[in-house]
Amino acid sequence: MKNMMHNKVSRLSSFIAICILFLLVTGNGLFAEKPYAVVIHGGAGNIAKESLSPEQIEEYNMKLAEALNAAEEILKTGGTSLDAVEAATRILEDSPLFNAGKGAVFNIDGKNELDASIMCGLTNNAGAVAGITTVRNPITAARMVMENSAHVLLTGKGAETFAYEHGLDIVDPGYFFDQRRWNQYREFIRNNVNRSRSDFDMKDDNIKMGTVGAVALDIHGNIAAATSTGGMVGKRYGRIGDSPIIGAGTYARNDACGVSATGHGEYFIRNLVAYDIAARMLYNGQTLQDAAYHNIMEKLVDQGANGGIIAIDKDANVVMEFNTTAMFRGFVKSTGEKGVWIFEE
């Protein structure tokens, strides 16, 4: 009797062991790994391939890879999409290669004014800062606004005081200086010397490169998006672009997608590009790819506006759409797919 019992129990445990093994091997069902994905951008623009040396391309690719790796490290150990997008964005902000944080473009008065925003697709909460000049990592200030204030968007001195009071890294405005950006600014001034201020050529293709952004889906199914920028070279003092405007340059909701944009901000604001992509998915049943294509390749192109977006939907589909010749970009997925790119493929 005892023996029969023993046999039954051991048969049952072998059966359970085989089931577990099957589930683990096939990757389906109970023990399936939840997918994660992160996509980043470092700005879109019309740049000729020949204008970047192989060394410069390597430098950009390595910085993009560094930001992706930092985000992936967080995601694969069960961290949140918010932590992942903030970490990736901070790395790009700290690099003078991109138009965000250190290395931001100069406004018409030769100053750096920074904008950033972040959104959590789980809670619908968002935070943003605009026109700040002394906070080393604007994206962290944006997150601080989201998590530690009753507001969504703080600007200028008010945002800086808030960041200071919350212990963020405050720097001298000179910290953001980059010689390459200064030369770009001087060239902008030269090209516009005969124009009145209201008539500045803000559509010059080379003037808006390097805004940064990140979108991530974590293993808990939560999506987050972040964007940070110095705006457009030669912008008027006080001009705020799309990057800190929730729904224009940044948007996230778990039941649709997360989006971070780059390009001619005024058009992204008028068209509420990031929100429109999510809305098309929700109310029109469009795929992320179709919704992004419509906005970037049809609507913006019809209006004569340059730019692109990166996005992830709730099923970990990644989209990187741009209507320029280049967009610094890359993604990593839990499936092992990964890469960084600059020009059209």
Residues from 99 through 128 that contact ligand ASP (CB under 6 A): 99
Give residue 264's region: left, alpha or beta (phi > 0; psi -120 to 50): beta
Residue 306's CB is within 10 A of a number of other CB atoms, namely: 21
Say how far apart CA 120 and CA 125 lie, in whole Å: 5
What is the Cβ-side half-sphere exposure of residue 320, based on CA atoms within 13 angstroms?
Answer: 27
Does 211 help bind ligand ASP (rule: CB under 6 A)?
yes
What residues form DSSP beta bridges with 130? 155
Stretch that binds ligand ASP, among 10-18, 173-181, 197-205, 226-234 (CB under 6 A): 226-234
Per-residue tokens: 210: 């390097």
Interface pick for ligand ASP out of 231, 247, 258, 330 (rule CB under 6 A): 231
Q: Which is nearer to ligand ASP, 79 or 265 (CB)?
A: 265
Residues from 143 through 202 that contact ligand ASP (CB under 6 A): none
Is 140 one of the annotated active-site residues of the chain?
no
Interface pick for ligand ASP out of 137, 243, 250, 324 (rule CB under 6 A): 243
Residues from 19 through 58 that contact ligand ASP (CB under 6 A): 43
Torsion sign, CA atoms 40, 44, 50, 56: negative
Q: Which is nearer to ligand ASP, 243 or 254 (CB)?
A: 243
Stretch that binds ligand ASP, among 12-20, 61-69, 258-266, 310-318 (CB under 6 A): 258-266
Does 324 help bind ligand ASP (rule: CB under 6 A)?
no
Task: Write the single-letter amino acid at 50.
Answer: E
Alpha helices in the chain (DSSP H): 2-26, 54-76, 81-94, 138-148, 156-165, 179-191, 265-270, 273-284, 288-293, 300-303
Does 228 help bind ligand ASP (rule: CB under 6 A)?
no
Residue indicated by tokens 């970490």: 87
Cβ atoms 330, 212 nearer than 8 A: no
Does 263 help bind ligand ASP (rule: CB under 6 A)?
yes
User: Which of the following is catalytic: 80, 140, 211, 227?
Assistant: 211
- Sites of contact with ligand ASP (CB under 6 A): 43, 99, 208, 211, 229, 231-232, 241-243, 249, 262-263, 265
Which residue numbers are catalytic?
211
